[in-house]
Structure 1
Amino acid sequence: MKDYIQYLEEVLGLQKVMIAKDPSTSSAVKAQFFTEQGSFAPAGATLQTPTDIQHYELIFLNILTQAKESIFLPETKELFGKMKAAMKLVNLQVLELDCTVEDRSQLPSELAKICESKVVVVFSSFPKDIGELIFKGPGKWIETYSPAYLIEDAGAKKVVWNDLQKVMKELNV
Structure 2
Amino acid sequence: MKDYIQYLQEVLGLQNVMLPASEPGSTKAHFFTQEGAFEPTSVQQKELVFLNILTQAKESFFLPEVRDLFDKMKAAMKLKNIQVLELDCTVEDRSQLPSELAQICESRVVVVFSSFPKDLGELIFKGPGKWIETYSPAYLLEDAAAKKVVWNDLQKVMKELGL
Q: Would the aligned equivalents of 2:27 and 2:93 in 1 still touch at CA under 8 Å?
A: no
Deviation digits for residues 36-84 of structure 1, max 9, x if unmatched?
Answer: 1110011x2xxxxxxx311100000000000000011000000000000
CA displacement at 1:26 relative to structure 2: 3.8
Secondary structure (helix, strand or coil) at the match of 2:87 reads strand
Instruction: Compute the TM-score of the two structures, normalised by the length of structure 2.
Output: 0.88
RMSD: 2.3
Gaps in structure 2 of 5+ consecutive residues: none
The corresponding residue for 2:66 is 76
Gaps in structure 1 of 5+ consecutive residues: 13-18, 45-51
1:55 to 45, 48, 52: 45
Secondary structure (helix, strand or coil) at the match of 1:128 reads coil
Aligned in 2, Cα 1:107/1:96: closer, same or farther, shift over 3 Å?
same
CA displacement at 1:20 relative to structure 2: 7.8
Secondary structure (helix, strand or coil) at the match of 1:28 reads coil
Distance in 2 separating the partners of 1:63 and 1:28: 17
Instruction: Compute the TM-score of the two structures, normalised by the length of structure 1.
Output: 0.83
Identity of aligned residues (%): 72
1:108 aligns with 2:106: no
The corresponding residue for 2:7 is 5
The size of the alignment, in residue pairs, is 155
Alignment of 1:85-104 (within 5 A): 85-104=75-94
CA displacement at 1:97 relative to structure 2: 0.2
1:137 to 104, 127, 145: 127
Deviation digits for residues 129-157 of structure 1, max 9, x if unmatched?
Answer: 00000100110000000000000000000
Residue type matched to 2:151 in 1? W
